[in-house]
Structure 1
Amino acid sequence: MQQEKIRNNMNPEKKGESNKSCTKCTAALWHRYRSGKIPVIPDIKCKSPGEGDLMLGRDPVAIARRLAAAGAPVISVVTEADHFGGSPELLRQIAQTVSVPILRKDFITTREHLLESANIGASGVLLIASMLEEDQLSKLVEEALVMGLEPLVETHNEAEIIAVNRLELTFLGINNRNIVEWEMDDGSVNTTEKLSGLARQDVFLVSESSLAAPGDVLRAVAAGAHGVLVGTAILRAPDPVEMYLELSQTMG
């Protein structure tokens, strides 16, 4: 049943057709999607509030390089320092190492944050609906596009999706956990299953967080997501590349 839902969700002739001017991230993701493989965005973060140290002495730049070589269409890099151990310099190093688009994940709230993102090599930026006023979010979306950054607007509930549907978006996220609680809540793919039908059909919809196995990825895509963003499960695996390939090869 899941495979049938996934096939019904695929429409290469119509999906991803957009007049939006900046689609650096979603162009790569739609290309992967049309190839019949679930687009998985690996999320490079050095630690997490719930799991602690995720690098365990490994080099995050080397991990990103290996994941890009394995076929990751986009790589996400968390640059927030206090809770996730990242930095703008980490993103800069990864952007200089790989040729795929880089999505910056942080608590971006100002034009200066956008300028910094462009200067360090990001192709896209995460904008979190729950942390921004509606007018502020709209302005940041517009400014990001002017700077050549594709905004991924992240939502977590029905009201947020309905509100952001009014924006000129190409990239929409559903976080299965609550970022306001530092993703320490018991989120699950149920959130994507409940909310995905509210998203506009012309955006690339990505399910984020609480995706630990191929079955979770299948559920998210069967519910209507076009791709997934996975960090902890990939980074905690004995071989991150092997886990990435296992997650991204599940579309039948």
Structure 2
Amino acid sequence: MNTDGSTAESKFAYGRVTDILRKRSEAEGIAVIPDIKCKSPAEGQMVSEADAADLAAELVDAGAPVISVVTENRHYGGSIRLLERISQRTAVPVLRKDFINCRDQLTESVDAGASAVLLIASMLEQDTLTTLACEALKLGLEPLVEVHSLEDIKKVQHLDLLLIGINNRNILELEMDGGTVATTEQLIRFLPADSLVISESSIQCPEDVRRAASAGAGAVLVGTAILKASDPAEMYRSLADAIKRYQ
């Protein structure tokens, strides 16, 4: 893709995050990304900010190839400092999740150690989304563009993306709706076949992982199921092994 904001004519030249996820998916059937969030509107408090970096390190030791960190404060209890701490504690790439809408947030993401950033199609005008995706690339960040509907997919088609997230829940409702992995199953066929698709939210068990993989997702992003487990590392391993167990 051209990085000057013009219409895309070729695929994004992605780097470390996409490569790692694709290799894990090819080796194990799917990649599982733990999503570190201190709280959520649906679940309340799940982990303290003081303990979050230790938990992230534990999940990396369990095999996580990438860590996602929610930095939004009001609804999810995150902070840019949390991103910094986790980036410093772990050797894997870190994805920043927030309601990103300006270049300054991209710059602070780089400064805090992020390798990738989430851009939410439903929250951004098409021109803004295009500009932010291009600016992210210029700064060395991989943009993960998230969709939740056919309308979102139409908004991002011109970007010719390689890394796309499908949020199974509606972020405009702060993910309080009853979305399931069925959203991934319904939408993935409208995305480019060579894209690496991440199924996000509502992944609760190995069967959900298998459904996402069967639909064509190369990765799943899992927060609550891991964070609320009595043994988060063991829960991560059970999800990561969901495909191998049935091969």
**1: CA distance, partners of 2:14 / 2:102:** 19
Say if 1:153 and 1:171, in contact at 8 Å, map to a contact too. yes
**Offset of residue 75 of structure 1:** 0.3
Matches within 5 A, 1:1-252: 20-55=12-47, 59-251=51-243, 252=247
Stretches of structure 2 that go unaligned for 5 or more consecutive residues are 1-9
Task: Calculate the aligned-residue CA RMSD, in Å.
Answer: 1.4
Normalised by the length of structure 1, the TM-score is 0.90
Normalised by the length of structure 2, the TM-score is 0.92
**1: CA distance, partners of 2:232 / 2:192:** 32
**2: CA distance, partners of 1:173 / 1:97:** 25
Deviates more, 1:113-122 or 1:160-169: 160-169
Say if 1:162 and 1:198, in contact at 8 Å, map to a contact too. no
Give the partner amino acid of 2:124. Answer: L
Task: Give the aligned partner of residue 5 of structure 2.
Answer: none
Deviation string, structure 1 residues 98-130 (Cα, Å, up to 9, x no partner): 110000000000000100101100000000000
Say if 2:29 and 2:218, in contact at 8 Å, map to a contact too. no
**Offset of residue 165 of structure 1:** 2.2
Task: Give the aligned partner of residue 4 of structure 2.
Answer: none
User: Share of identical aligned residues, percent?
Assistant: 54
Give the partner amino acid of 1:195. Answer: L
Give the count of matched residue pairs: 235
Structure 1 stretches of 4+ with a deviation exceeding 4 A read: none
Give the partner amino acid of 1:191. Answer: T
Secondary structure, aligned partner of 2:53: helix
**1: CA distance, partners of 2:181 / 2:62:** 25
Say if 1:22 and 1:149, in contact at 8 Å, map to a contact too. no
**1: CA distance, partners of 2:138 / 2:231:** 39
